[in-house]
Structure 1
């Protein structure tokens, strides 16, 4: 019977640790000897825990106390009590029993007690320190994916820049061609700038140019060879030596010709 009543090794070591007079500045009994206080947690974890328990984790020590029914007395001090843990009454240690739900009890007690208990705060700190490496590992796993995404975005950005440069070049070339066409119309056909603007607006609004006195852009009857010019390009007539633009003969037999009628731009007859 006496053999079965031996206290747990953890309780024996804790009692010896608390009862050691040489460490009273770090850990010791209260004045009444009914509780014990850890005065200097850093020194306790660094110097005493490795000596008695072969580790330096203060949170682990607190969790172990919880499994044997020790309770926190005040929230602002690491003071623990158990009705069978008293100074000068070492025989009572045999009555302290480990909780049956030892593996789950610390977590349950920690969540139920809330943030007001320093012992629970110690547990929270311990669990946080254990979980933080996992968080770092998760971040490191995501890092390659982030780098790959950044590379894809950089490639896409370079492609968009190239496309933008090509579009800018195309626009500049189109503007240059338009300027050359306007200069040609002004110098050789003697078309006024406002008439050119009117022609361009008519062409952009539909496939034919209508509304002018000469029915520019409508189907003509010059030897059946008239063609619509939807793209505003200069056309050549194969049946003569002339050059025709928007249905107007620019050259032929030494003078400009029109289609058997008096065609003009905005009512103005082409000069001979």
Structure 2
């Protein structure tokens, strides 16, 4: 039976114990785009036996993980102080969730206590079940579009097995467009078209002789937060972009509040950004700069606040 690409979905739920199937259900569905997957770290043992005839013996499958990639809209839950639909995925990417009831939900990097999720990936008539999942994420904001999270999630996989598509319910909140936001670098209100931030997690997949798939716990072992933005060029007196790059000047970057409805607003704050590279750009005949930056700091390098 043929499978339709558009008839796919994922369910995601936080695990109470690492690697133990949290059995996500219909209420754990997350609306995603651009799903892709691969068998990460697949082992196929070659048998290069010496024998009278040429040729190889059949290889031996020796375990694999699975990596799933997808995009998720940046939007609130519809109620201030209630975690957004994407929350479990951000937590599985090594981010701590702080809830201020009735007011806001904040996500920031954490260096310990990383949570994991169970992810069910339905592929029009079959399902892969991933446990012990952790990953990394980037956020991409472009003027006049909806913000997007881009996830890469790695987990221990079973399946596929044949399974009917479940009837699910998604959060009906519509994402706010990226407009009317008071973006600033330091104290300067720069004119930009796009901003990106990459959490840059290193995902370690250590081997384990005793594990069914040959892999131990999936671990977030390092983090390198980077990003980019594209401001219109200015006079040196207004903003000395090149001078700040050469001097290694660290400064805050903030989007300001995106969205105008309580429960569906968010803001990205980077506490200490330093320019890593600077090059010229052209936007509709206007000179711009393409600036790549690093985010200094420990677990306070940045935060995403939903309010």
> TM-score band, normalised by the shorter chain?
under 0.3
* TM-score (structure 1 length as normaliser): 0.19
Greater relative contact order (Cα < 8 A, sep 6+): 2
**Greater Rg, structure 1 or structure 2?**
1
Structure holding more helix per residue: 1
Structure holding more strand per residue: 2
